[in-house]
Amino acid sequence: SYELTQPPSVSVSPGQTATITCSGDRLGTKFASWYQQRPGQSPVLVIHQDDKRPSGIPDRFSASNSGSTATLTISGAQPADEADYYCQAWDNNVAVFGGGTKVTVL
Amino acid sequence: QVLLQESGPGLVKPSQTLSLTCTVSGASISTAKYYWNWIRQHPGEGLEWIGRIYYSGGVYFNPSVKSRATISQDTSKNQFSLTLTSVTSADTAVYYCAREVSGPQRGDFDYWGQGALVTVSS
């Protein structure tokens, strides 16, 4: 079955840039989405179609997808960005999520 | 405003059937624009896609649960439902319903319910 691999954790200082990677076989040939999940809350879509931000998502969130790696970048990280982040793609009509990356802002 | 709300028993005995319903407001489940999905999250773990239903009634499942899962819809109530048979403790999780934007270049989940914790225990 298809797998997406993320680093378990990323730490970033306030105002600095956090980069989260998501690796999968030929991931660049698929569309990647990213979700933010704060503790005790439901996931929120922050990126779709590789690099598009839904309405209401701050422009400090950006992303790319090429080769076998999708990348989510948080520029100027804020304390409110502390959360778990999941990448997601489809393979053979099955939605696959990465294992999640815990972003700590400190 | 689109809202999804899960409902159902929070406690299910092992070997029995888990049943959850998602009530949708602010959008019709009878439109070709969206799929309607179930996704779960085991305690302290990541997200696992269970399956989806389309307005036509077509359903798709994760092979990991395909033999035990059913997804149905009640368009008159704008609801869709999940049943999972022969549950074990491994099915203890928060279950989310979510809307998926359909189309060849989409497949993202843009609205989620608040989640329903289901515990499998005797």
- A65 in contact with B, Cβ within 8 Å: no
C-alpha–C-alpha distance, residues A63 and A53, integer Å:
9
Q: Is the distance from CB of B108 to CB of B19 less than 8 angstroms?
A: no
Q: Which residues of B touch A94 (CB under 8 A)?
A: 49, 60, 62-63
Note whether A16 and A77 are within 8 A (CB). Answer: yes
The pLDDT value recorded for residue B105 is 74
Is it the case that residue A47 has pLDDT exceeding 80?
yes
Which residue is closest to A87 within chain B, CA to CA?
A: B47
Answer whether B102's CB lies under 8 Å from B33's CB.
yes
Q: Are strands B116-120 and B11-12 parallel, antiparallel or unpaired?
A: parallel
What's the rounded Cα separation, in Å, for the pair A96 and A91?
7
Rounded CA separation B119/B93 (Å) = 7
Query: From first to last of its 122 residues, what are the pLDDT tens digits of chain B?
Result: 999 999 999 999 999 999 999 999 999 999 999 999 999 999 999 999 999 999 999 999 999 998 999 999 999 999 999 999 999 999 999 999 999 998 877 889 999 999 999 999 99
Contact B20, B80 (CB under 8 A): no
CB B119 within 8 A of CB B12: yes
Interface contact A43-B107, CB threshold 8 A: no
Sheet of A69-74: strands edge to edge?
A: A18-23, A69-74, A61-66
- A55-96 pLDDT, tens per residue? 999 999 999 999 999 999 999 999 999 999 999 999 999 999
Q: Would an 8 Å CB–CB cutoff place A95 in contact with chain B?
A: yes
Which member of B49, B63, B106 has the closest CB to residue A49?
Answer: B106
- State phi, psi for A79 to the nearest 5 degrees: -55, -35
